[in-house]
Structure 1
Amino acid sequence: MLIRNSLIALGLLFLTASCDKKRVFDDYKAFNGTWNKDSIVSFQFEQNDTVTPYNMFVNIRNNNNYPFNNIFLIVNLEQPNGITVTDTLEYMMANPDGSLMGKGFSDVKESKLWYKGFEGEYNFPKAGNYTVNIEQAVRKSGSIPGVEELEGVTEVGFRIESKEE
């Protein structure tokens, strides 16, 4: 019985992994339920294809302790040629009734947030090593200083998908 269950679980793992043909890069950094405003999440990857168009996403896993209906992020894309592109982004994280957006069966939801590629094709400008730095920039309404500890964020991820199959 144990061997049969193990074989079924292994088969499902291979099936799930093989269905993700568009994935080029996918990584997560975990938090202990809070994301400090000074904690910058970094992802490094090598990209040598400057011809194929790509989509890039910031993935946020959060739970019911997340107190806001949106999130503000500052994302820096450091290119191999030394140029850094900085974007300040806002995403909706909750429905008008307060329920969390995103996918998931438990109180943890995963939101796949567009970063690059949604407005048209995105091609990497140079071959080489890239770094993506992500920091939260959430503020309470009417407050200038940022939220020191953003509760409810359990993981932040970065994903690159090929637009071609």
Structure 2
Amino acid sequence: MNNFKAFLLLSIGITITLFSGCDTNNVIDNNISMPSRNWSYANKVKAVVDITDAGKTYNVYFKLRHTADYGYSNIFVLFHLRESGQKKQSRRYEYRLAQPDGQWNGSGSSNLYTYTLPLLTNYKFPKAGKYELEIEQNMRDNPLKEISDAGIKVSALSK
């Protein structure tokens, strides 16, 4: 009986630690599927985030899924950030999706590879308010073939 009580207490303690030990909480986590696995210039990934505490720090991620038939080892994207009523700020990112030997960097199961790639880390929004986030593919191919879906994730870091 004592072993059972010790096991039960240990199990409860591990469960509490797992749920309370998380250092982030997702403010936004969205994905959009690409029609016929083709990401066109016009098909931008958009999200609006409402920042209530400008003192907090956030991580902003680009989420991507592609098939094994994706034709490149990298991807270029444009990331746009706009505070309500303000001018849009844009930045171009390049992400390496594969090793020189062709091995995909993403986590995969069968024919689909998944990435969560950093856009902004430990970022403080200038002030409280609504911000529009937008990602567009910036490769030469339009549409960019074999992209299953793309998304934006914003996580608030604990203080």
CA contact (8 A) 1:58 1:114 kept: yes
Which portions of structure 1, spanning 4 or more consecutive aligned residues, are displaced by more than 2 angstroms?
19-22
Q: Which residue of 1 aligns with 2:155?
A: 161
Q: CA RMSD in A?
A: 2.1
User: TM-score, structure 2 length as denominator?
Assistant: 0.79
Larger Rg: 2
Larger strand proportion, structure 1 or 2? 2
The count of corresponding residues between Structure 1 and Structure 2 is 140
Over the matched positions of the two proteins, sequence identity in percent amounts to 27
Q: Residue in 2 aligned with 1:51?
A: 55
* 1:106 equivalent in alignment to 2:107: no
1:81 CA drift (Å)? 4.4
CA distance in 2, matches of 1:131, 1:24: 13
Structure 1 residue runs without a partner (length 5+): 1-14, 139-145
Question: Is residue 126 from structure 1 mapped to residue 127 from structure 2 by the alignment?
Answer: yes
Gaps of 5+ in 2: 1-17
Residue correspondence of structure 1 range 2-81 to structure 2 within 5 A: 21-31=24-34, 32-81=36-85
The code of the aligned residue for 2:158 comes to E
Change (3 A) 1:38 1:55: same
Write the distance in 1 (CA, Å) between the matches of 2:157 and 2:68.
Answer: 33
CA distances 1:105-155 after superposition (whole Å, capped 9, x unpaired): 2221111111001xxx311112121111111111xxxxxxx2111111111
CA distance in 2, matches of 1:44, 1:152: 27
TM-score (norm: length of structure 1) = 0.77
